[in-house]
Amino acid sequence: MDTAKRYGSEKIGKLLLQLAPPVMLAQLIQALYNIVDSLFVGRYSASGLTALSIIYPVQLLMIALGVGTGVGLNTLMARQLGLGEEKSARECAGVAAPVGAALWLIFAVAGYLAMPAYAHMSTKDPQVIADVISYGRIVCVFSLGLFLESMWTKVLQAEGDMKTPMFAQIAGAALNILLDPVLIFGLGGLPEMGIAGAAAATVAGQVLAALVVMKKGLRKSPGLSGYPRFLKVIFRLGAPNMLMQSAYTFYILGLNLILAGFSDHAVTALGLYYKWQTFFFIPLGAMQTCIVPIVSFNYAAGDVQRCQKTLKTVVLFGLALMRLGTLCFECIPGPLLRAFTRQSQVIEIGRFGFRIIGVSFLPMVTSLIFLVFFQATGFGLKSAGLTLMRTLVLFVPLGYLFSRWGLHAFWLTFPVTEPLTSLPGGGSYRAFRIYPYV
């Protein structure tokens, strides 16, 4: 079935069930490799586990640049396909590799130079500082695979190919998991690299994933005269997602700095939450990925009702699937934490925090889906506004405010922020239903 028939006439529920499983499997493997990475580092040293929590915002910033630009490319290609402009879509796909390489070079230089200052800003523990610099510099300087894989994956997803990116993620994650114990602990006669070994395993997995998608995703670059035309639209369409992902970086950094005022154990507990979040948010993440090409295609084709039906179906799926995450965070926070650490302070802090955060999972569905919907329909300012409201206007200030009443009160930031973000998102969507092109 061609792209136009799939996106334009297939039943929404059936289409999502076709597109989502490969994305979910890829994200599951990705989540497992993140979890396994932390498991091995946690077994190696407590300082290394804290360092991973501190470096997490930096990794998110890399993803923001790569995936955000890729989403702009994905959205533009889906629109062109919706308008029947297949030649233009192929030319657009040709800019993916050069743009990904340029983003990598910028981030590699900036990350290498800024890492010591970032480490000293985040903690006072000398060993944690050393681990942050070691891990951070490796994942920044050798991040070419991450940027290229992000771009080529979005090219393939715009064309309806969800399976190749899935295989790429599986291959990269499997290599990472295989190399983690070997490089961290020095197995098989190799030198013991510690946390640097975890970083090396991470970038090796990224390179392999990029090589897998390269075979289908690499396209002939258009002439230089075509770049300004494509890049202007790609970055305009990708800016909301890039801003959204970047805002996540800064809000997590802000929360880390707030928690550092209590202890490094509190920072570690928050980092472990985000490790498990990547696992339990797989269904929601898959829905976010699948909604962009479907909604972009149908909005460009003038089928607004199909866009609305897609949103409704995705929200219902998301609410049903996110209940599992809520149940786990409410009922078994202790085992989730003990999977990574035996530090009693981290477990005590995290057990209370996980139960409070779990309450926010259901309202988080609408707060995040509205962001992606407005991005896919070209209302970048609405998407960006909701993103900034959620991350910088609500999360960080509320985190600081609640922290004034103690560490336990800090965790209320999560269940308070998500409903407050969903309210204006729902209002904007009601306006969209009446005036879809305004």
The percent of residues above 90 in pLDDT, for the chain, comes to: 30
Model confidence at 4, pLDDT cuts 50, 70, 90, reads low
Q: Domain residues of the chain, as ranges? A: 3-434
Residue 250 scores a pLDDT above 60: yes
As a dihedral over the C-alpha atoms of residue 131, residue 134, residue 139, residue 141, rounded to 10 degrees, the angle is: 160
Among 44, 328, 25, 373, smallest CA distance to 198 is for 44
The Cα 98–Cα 332 span in angstroms is 46
CA distances from 247 to 59, 159, 240, 384 (A): 13, 28, 10, 10
pLDDT of residue 132: 93
Kindly tell me the sign of the dihedral angle through the C-alpha atoms of 425, 431, 437, 438: negative
Q: How wide is the angle at C-alpha 187 spanned by C-alphas 184 and 193, nearest 5°?
A: 30
pLDDT of residue 351: 95
pLDDT 10s digits, 301-310: 888 888 899 9
Range of lowest pLDDT (7-16, 109-118, 228-237, 266-275): 228-237
pLDDT 10s digits, 334-381: 999 998 888 899 999 999 999 999 999 999 998 888 888 887 887 877
Greater confidence (112 vs 88) lies with: 112
pLDDT of residue 123: 85
Q: What is the mean pLDDT of the chain?
A: 85
Residue 87 scores a pLDDT above 90: no
pLDDT of residue 137: 95
Residue type for position 138: I
Q: How far is CA 249 from the centre of its chain?
A: 10
The Cα 256–Cα 274 span in angstroms is 12
The Cα 113–Cα 132 span in angstroms is 13
Mean pLDDT of 187-204: 89
CA distances from 408 to 186, 344, 412 (A): 40, 16, 8
pLDDT of residue 399: 94
Which residues in 179-198 are b (16+ Cβ under 10 Å) and which e? bbbbbbbeeeeeeebbbbbb
pLDDT of residue 75: 77
Residue 438 scores a pLDDT above 70: no
Residue type for position 62: M
Q: What are phi and psi of 48, to 5 degrees?
A: -65, -40
Model confidence at 226, pLDDT cuts 50, 70, 90, reads low
pLDDT 10s digits, 414-430: 999 999 999 998 888 88
3-state secondary structure of 438: coil
Residues 210 and 148 sit within 8 Å (Cβ to Cβ): yes
Model confidence at 3, pLDDT cuts 50, 70, 90, reads low
pLDDT of residue 160: 74
- Taking the model in full, what pTM does it have? 0.73
The Cα 246–Cα 262 span in angstroms is 25
The Cα 378–Cα 203 span in angstroms is 33
The percent of residues above 70 in pLDDT, for the chain, comes to: 96
pLDDT 10s digits, 28-37: 776 776 777 7
pLDDT of residue 348: 94
Greater confidence (279 vs 338) lies with: 338
pLDDT of residue 139: 92
Kindly tell me the sign of the dihedral angle through the C-alpha atoms of 255, 250, 39, 154: positive
The size of the chain, in residues, is: 438
Q: How wide is the angle at C-alpha 244 spanned by C-alphas 241 and 246, nearest 5°?
A: 105
